[in-house]
A and B are shown apart, each in its own frame.
Chain A
Amino acid sequence: MSGSETRLLFNHIDEPGLAGLETYERLGGYRALKRAFRELEPDELIGSFEESGLRGRGGAGFSMGKKGSFLPRGDMQKYVCCNADESEPGAFKDRELMMKNPHQLIEGCAIAALAVGAAYVFIFIRGEYWEIADVLDRAVAEAYEAGHLGGDIAGTGKRVELVVHRGAGAYICGEETALLDALEGKRGNPRLKPPFPAIQGLYGGPTLINNVETLSNLAHIVNNGAEWFKSFGSEQSPGTKVVSVSGCVQRPGNYEIELGIPAREIIFDLAGGPREGRRVKAWFPGGSSAPVLTEAELDLAYTFETLAEAGSMLGSGSIIVADDTVSIPELALRTARFYHHESCGKCTPCREGTNWTVKMLERVTRGEATPMDLDIIASVQENIIGYCLCVLGDSMAMPVAAMVTKFRDEFEDVAASGSRLDAPGFRRPGELDDSAIDRPLTTGAGV
């Protein structure tokens, strides 16, 4: 393993016509589907996925096979949802997978449906991916025509219907229960868990929800087996991972790697590193929801475990690099603004916490704040983490808290750069002491 790609899902990615059925089948496509539907039992499939160690590629990293095994057996209406809502800043791997190789995903979806006994698959694709959804629509139509979807798959009489459902622009719909609500035609608000979607999901029925990349792996596992899959990657994270690298790098893009290689190799060898003469100041290892790491941590192995130990996370596998021209307080503000814009508003800490944090960070970047304000910002992030209905609140609070902590000096410099605060009598929050309550009101100054 070195600073080079291991292309499994990206194999043939730029082959002309790959998005069409003919080329896909010529290169071996849909063999797995035929074999699975004709010869394999659902339990065999789930067992194989569990054995392979495939972990969710959407951010949670939970064992795909285990998740599938949670769905109850038996004759009832079950569903598979493919989470193609990819809206995490810095993530664009699913886009390339779907646009250039849609059949790989479709095949995986059908196999997943067979494995859990679902008759319906919904691909929930974010509304902004208009072009990609068009490609997907065409591919789905081709698959139906060829008998790979519909009422009689591969001549077995088994039925799987696939619906491509376009979203309409909300990051929160990437959260699995919010996705279900959006699919049911409501506002995309997350739900209480428990009950978990595997038991009570779409329309109240058992539902398997997986990311695009996760499902795209299934046909390969069926074709080549769980053991083969484990020959890639590491023991705890077999298989490959498509990593999106962007920001201050010379060759931004998607790179398929095996987990375990150092982050430095991804950022510098594959993506070209920052421009000539610039250094890495901070980098998000897992999209903007991951607490930032610094230049000192570039040699960490890029795995779920190592990054978690370092106080961050791998998430969806999207690296954003900030070089030394980037102002961290401004970066914090941009990050906070995103989450404030995307907060669904259902739970109090996220709705008000993101709002308040943005207001304070705006004041900081304008230079009208004090170290006390920075303490309040940090405290507010603490008050968000762990109290919200879903992880969006945490997704803002953790990176902002990390930035304020790791780059405190820069924050203090920027915050104090304004001059309004030196006016006489101006009281800063926290400077009002309780004894003022008993003092007579005639002083008039600054109360």
Chain B
Amino acid sequence: MLVDAAKGGDVEIPVFCYEPKLGGPVGACRMCLVEVEGIPKLQTACSTPVRDGMVVFTGTDRVAEAQNAVVEFLLVNHPLDCPVCDKGGECPLQDIAMGWGPGKSRVTDPKRHFRKPVALSPLVRIDRERCILCYRCVRFSQEVAEDEQLQLLERGSQSYVGTFDDHPYIAPFHGNIIELCPVGALTSEAYRFRARPWDIAHSGSSCTRRPSQCNVKFTVRDERIQRVLARDNEAVDNGWLCDKGRFGFQMISAEDRVTAPKVGGSKVGWTAALEAIAERLRGAGERTAAVVGGQSSNEEAYLVQRILRQALGSAHVTSTDELDAGALAALSAPGLSAALTDVDQAESILVIGTDPMHSMPILDLRLRKAVRHGGARLVVASERPTALDGGAEETLRYAPGGAGELLRALVGQLNGGSDGGRTGSGVASSGTEGSGEGRGSGWRRGCEFWDRRLGRRPGVGCGKYRRVPGEYR
């Protein structure tokens, strides 16, 4: 588009609603109007594709008038909150008003008001008077995170951003709207009134809470991390962060954080603590068991199994993975490894035995993008419902522990298909609802398991995760 091409030529065209990460251009804010030779009306540069031989004017009087007009309109109802607004100093509206605005206000009439600020969620506050209705946040909710909880309500100059019935906006990625918002309408609860841009320093790093290692920027003041921002990395996070990564930093300086070991409720030194642990473990001996979680590092896992096998003589050590060692080793073969960017190009995607929302949230967003924009076909096979079910072409459910059986059946199919009845016996798919195929004992076991767990009426729910056909998930 013209806007991007202009950047390449060192020409800046101001924008508000244009954000390529959110999909196609919207053309709503009208800030990027430019003059294109041969077209009588001014065009929005964000939606005009570049063509060979195109002549574009960005600095003529006509364009300047349009830019002044749009800035003036944006400020008609915008409150003069800069002194108390967190965004001040790093605010695109301030910058664009300075660079492309008329400089003087002609408004003498009262502005429209909303109750402000209101808690949109435990982590985000919304100030609707400051909102310039650029739609970035609602587009994020619809088209990136796909939770569709944040919407535009009412019409015209009474429009405002909100949720259903003022319910809190609880969604795992909603913190991103703070960064998307070009004004101080959506602000972080944790960062409220903490610093001005000239007080802080930035420090680049990566988030360590999940395997994806999303790139982040720490905002530091007085040698404390005050906030976490995304540091756009195409290959990893696409510029998004999950809420755990964005707000989890607060634990570093939390008051109730455990910083020293305690035995029996009272603080002890490290030596005494380790002695106490060792004594108890020695007492249990080979009856000790250990389950190593996926967030442990390889070194930690190695040491745990060494303690159990060598020091205690116990063989009861495992991890949370459902697959046996052989399958795991086979899956880790270098030739099979894919990068996150491969997801964008994939034609079909099979998700097995995991819910990316929990194990690697940023992958969830990436998969949604692949399905929505890349046309990828998604199949989800897991023992419990995942957040991706709604957009999957097929969802396969198996009883807990049945992943191995599924994979064997799959391999059998791929190798020729005649598995004499083993294929699909323990597994049921939503696509075959109603037909006799695939509704084996595994299906029933799986459904009953979840009906009991979730307290649902039996026979209802499992496998009935409706896919909304057509364009929307």
Inter-subunit contact A355/B29 (CB<8 Å): no
Inter-subunit contact B69/A351 (CB<8 Å): no
B200 within 8 A of A: no
B108 within 8 A of A: yes
The B24-62 residues at the A interface (CB cut-off 8 A) are: 25-31, 33, 41-42, 44, 47
- Nearest chain B CB to A19 CB, angstrom units: 34
CA distance A353 to B71 in the complex (A): 11
Contact of A376 among B26, B106, B112 (CB under 8 A): B106
Inter-subunit contact A386/B41 (CB<8 Å): yes
* A226-270 vs B, Cβ < 8 Å mask (1 yes, 0 no): 000000000000000000000000000000000000000000000
B25, B30, B47, B471: which has the most chain A beta carbons within 10 Å?
B30
CA distance A363 to B28 in the complex (A): 29
* Chain A binder among B153-161, B205-213, B306-314: B153-161
Closest to A430 in B: B106
A9 within 8 A of B: no
B129 within 8 A of A: no
Inter-subunit contact B77/A352 (CB<8 Å): yes
- Nearest chain B CB to A192 CB, angstrom units: 4
- Nearest chain B CB to A187 CB, angstrom units: 7
A residues within 8 A CB of B158?
345
A220 within 8 A of B: no
Once A192-B26, A348-B28, A348-B74 are accepted as A-B contacts, the answer to whether A343 and B109 lie under 8 Å apart by CB is no
Inter-subunit contact A387/B30 (CB<8 Å): yes
Inter-subunit contact B155/A349 (CB<8 Å): no
Inter-subunit contact A352/B155 (CB<8 Å): no
Contact of B33 among A344, A355, A387, A429 (CB under 8 A): A387
CA distance A355 to B73 in the complex (A): 10
- Give the number of residues in B that approach A within 8 Å (Cβ atoms): 39
Inter-subunit contact A389/B27 (CB<8 Å): yes
* A86-123 vs B, Cβ < 8 Å mask (1 yes, 0 no): 00000000000000000000000000000000000000
Inter-subunit contact A354/B157 (CB<8 Å): yes
Chain A contact residues, majority secondary structure: helix
Inter-subunit contact B30/A347 (CB<8 Å): yes
CA distance A348 to B77 in the complex (A): 11
A residues within 8 A CB of B471?
203-204
Inter-subunit contact B28/A355 (CB<8 Å): no
Inter-subunit contact A351/B72 (CB<8 Å): no
- Nearest chain A CB to B117 CB, angstrom units: 21
B376 within 8 A of A: no
Closest to A375 in B: B106
B133 within 8 A of A: yes
Contact of B157 among A187, A355, A376, A430 (CB under 8 A): A355
Inter-subunit contact A355/B76 (CB<8 Å): yes
B107 within 8 A of A: yes
Interface residues on A, range: 20 to 34
Once A347-B30, A387-B30, A389-B30 are accepted as A-B contacts, the answer to whether A342 and B156 lie under 8 Å apart by CB is yes
Closest to B132 in A: A348
Chain B contact residues, majority secondary structure: loop
Inter-subunit contact A349/B133 (CB<8 Å): no
Inter-subunit contact B157/A345 (CB<8 Å): yes
Inter-subunit contact A383/B157 (CB<8 Å): no
B residues within 8 A CB of A351?
73, 133, 156-157, 159
A residues within 8 A CB of B72?
383
Contact of A356 among B28, B31, B76, B470 (CB under 8 A): B76
A residues within 8 A CB of B29?
347-348
CA distance A354 to B77 in the complex (A): 12
- Nearest chain B CB to A331 CB, angstrom units: 20
Inter-subunit contact A363/B70 (CB<8 Å): no
- Nearest chain B CB to A365 CB, angstrom units: 13
- Nearest chain A CB to B345 CB, angstrom units: 23
Closest to A204 in B: B471
CA distance A353 to B69 in the complex (A): 10
B110 within 8 A of A: yes
CA distance A355 to B109 in the complex (A): 10
CA distance A343 to B65 in the complex (A): 23
B residues within 8 A CB of A388?
30
- Nearest chain B CB to A96 CB, angstrom units: 29
B236 within 8 A of A: no
B31, B132, B154, B157: which has the most chain A beta carbons within 10 Å?
B157
* B150-169 vs A, Cβ < 8 Å mask (1 yes, 0 no): 00101111110000000000
B42, B110, B133: which has the most chain A beta carbons within 10 Å?
B133
B residues within 8 A CB of A344?
155-156
B289 within 8 A of A: no
A residues within 8 A CB of B6?
none
Inter-subunit contact A349/B157 (CB<8 Å): no
The A355-401 residues at the B interface (CB cut-off 8 A) are: 355-356, 359-360, 363, 376, 383-384, 386-389
Once A203-B471, A386-B41, A387-B33 are accepted as A-B contacts, the answer to whether A192 and B25 lie under 8 Å apart by CB is yes
A residues within 8 A CB of B171?
none
Once A347-B28, A348-B29, A383-B73 are accepted as A-B contacts, the answer to whether A356 and B133 lie under 8 Å apart by CB is no
A residues within 8 A CB of B109?
356, 359-360, 363
- Nearest chain B CB to A346 CB, angstrom units: 5
Inter-subunit contact B73/A348 (CB<8 Å): yes
A residues within 8 A CB of B73?
348-349, 351-353, 356, 383
Inter-subunit contact A387/B70 (CB<8 Å): yes
B residues within 8 A CB of A354?
156-157
B residues within 8 A CB of A343?
155-157
Inter-subunit contact B157/A170 (CB<8 Å): no
Inter-subunit contact B70/A349 (CB<8 Å): yes
A residues within 8 A CB of B152?
187, 345
A348, A389, A429: which has the most chain B beta carbons within 10 Å?
A348
B66 within 8 A of A: yes
CA distance A345 to B133 in the complex (A): 8
B31, B74, B76: which has the most chain A beta carbons within 10 Å?
B76
- Nearest chain B CB to A29 CB, angstrom units: 36
B residues lining the A interface (CB < 8 Å)? 25-31, 33, 41-42, 44, 47, 65-66, 69-70, 72-74, 76-77, 106-110, 112, 132-133, 135, 152, 154-159, 470-471
21 A–B pairs (Cβ distance < 8 Å), ordered by A: A187-B155, A192-B27, A203-B470, A203-B471, A343-B157, A345-B156, A346-B28, A348-B31, A348-B73, A348-B132, A349-B73, A351-B133, A351-B157, A351-B159, A353-B73, A354-B156, A355-B76, A359-B109, A386-B42, A387-B69, A430-B106
